[in-house]
């Protein structure tokens, strides 16, 4: 079986759909907190298994010997390592064939606050003895394109990235890399740094947004603390605002940039240029 945890999330949905293009539905299982979100997959023959990372007992029987498992990192920052540890322990007990994990770019050396739980999870997976693959995903281009409306409304994008460059890619591209690894061979105990083929700075992103939308938008760079405060001012909770501002600081240091083109090699096609992603988002409204 191919088992995907966190399958109902934005990345997970792309992974499951990608798997269903390559393997029969009865070879795919999804581990989700809310099975109602997976009813459409169940109707297509996918096995749906209810799991709550905070209750390790719910992981009993979710994995079987020889399974290929994708652990999609949980979304509760600060709680992720114990949640991931529960999955790792269950996978070890079951004797799964391969455990792939969606980590973060340069997890072992990144200075981003987000990287800590990813690094700890990678170390726990290595210690478990399970054959593994670390899919170290870079930034999602959707981190920008899903927030075009306020940028166009107010004519401003704020950040703390200075002129740093980010090699972002789409969720679907990262998902396709996961599918390639899960269904392929020779990936055991590999670490893949995954990012878009080309990088851009936030000033370049804003200039392209202005060009395509026909509306003037400027980039305003702020000190990290001020950027966090600005995010909190529009309703972002302080812990998450601090995390986002810290990520921008990391971007300014080059920690979200990678030129290896490993992602495009895994998926067998170039990644989507950021200008194309902006154009698609503008068309969707």
The count of other CB atoms within 10 Å of the CB of residue 82 is 15
What pLDDT digit, counting tens, does each position of 80-101 carry?
Answer: 999 999 999 999 999 999 999 9
User: Which strand (E) or helix (H) includes residue 279?
Assistant: helix 274-284
What pLDDT digit, counting tens, does each position of 100-115 carry?
Answer: 999 999 999 999 999 9
Q: What is the pLDDT of residue 76?
A: 84
What pTM, to 2 d.p., does this model score?
Answer: 0.96
Q: Which domains does the chain have, with CATH numbers?
A: 2-137 (3.40.50.720), 141-166+197-258+270-283 (3.90.25.10)
**Contact (Cβ atoms closer than 8 angstroms) between residue 135 and residue 101:** yes
Which residues neighbour 194 within 8 Å (Cβ) at sequence distance 6 or greater?
A: 105, 135, 136, 137, 138, 169, 174, 177, 258, 262, 263, 266
- Give yes or no for residue 78 having a pLDDT over 90: no
What pLDDT digit, counting tens, does each position of 245-259 carry?
Answer: 999 999 999 999 999
């Amino acid at each position: 079986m191919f088992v995907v945890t966190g399958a109902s999330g934005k990345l997970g949905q792309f992974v499951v759909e990608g798997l269903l293009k390559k393997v029969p539905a009865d070879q795919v299982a999804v581990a989700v907190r809310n099975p109602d979100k997976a009813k459409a997959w169940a109707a297509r023959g996918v096995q749906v298994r209810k799991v709550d990372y905070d209750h390790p007992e719910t992981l009993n029987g979710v994995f079987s010997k020889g399974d290929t498992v994708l652990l999609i990192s949980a979304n509760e920052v600060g709680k992720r390592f114990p949640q991931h540890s529960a999955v790792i322990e269950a996978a070890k007990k079951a004797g799964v064939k391969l455990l792939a994990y969606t980590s973060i770019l340069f997890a072992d050396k990144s200075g981003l606050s987000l990287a800590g739980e990813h690094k700890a999870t990678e170390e726990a997976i290595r210690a478990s003895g399970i054959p593994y693959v670390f899919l170290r995903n870079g930034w999602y281009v959707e981190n920008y394109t899903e927030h075009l409306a306020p940028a166009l409304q107010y004519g401003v994008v704020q950040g703390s990235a200075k002129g740093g460059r980010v090699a972002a890619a789409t969720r679907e591209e990262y998902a396709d890399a996961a599918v390639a690894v899960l269904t392929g061979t020779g990936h055991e105990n590999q670490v893949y740094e995954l990012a878009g083929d080309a990088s851009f700075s936030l000033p370049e992103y804003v200039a392209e947004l202005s060009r395509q939308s026909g509306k003037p938008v400027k980039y305003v760079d702020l000190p990290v603390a001020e950027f966090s405060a600005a995010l909190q001012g529009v309703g972002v909770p302080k812990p998450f605002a601090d995390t986002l501002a810290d990520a921008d600081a990391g971007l300014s240091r080059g920690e979200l940039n990678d030129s290896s083109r490993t992602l495009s090699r895994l998926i067998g096609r170039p990644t989507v240029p950021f200008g194309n992603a902006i154009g698609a988002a503008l068309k969707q409204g």
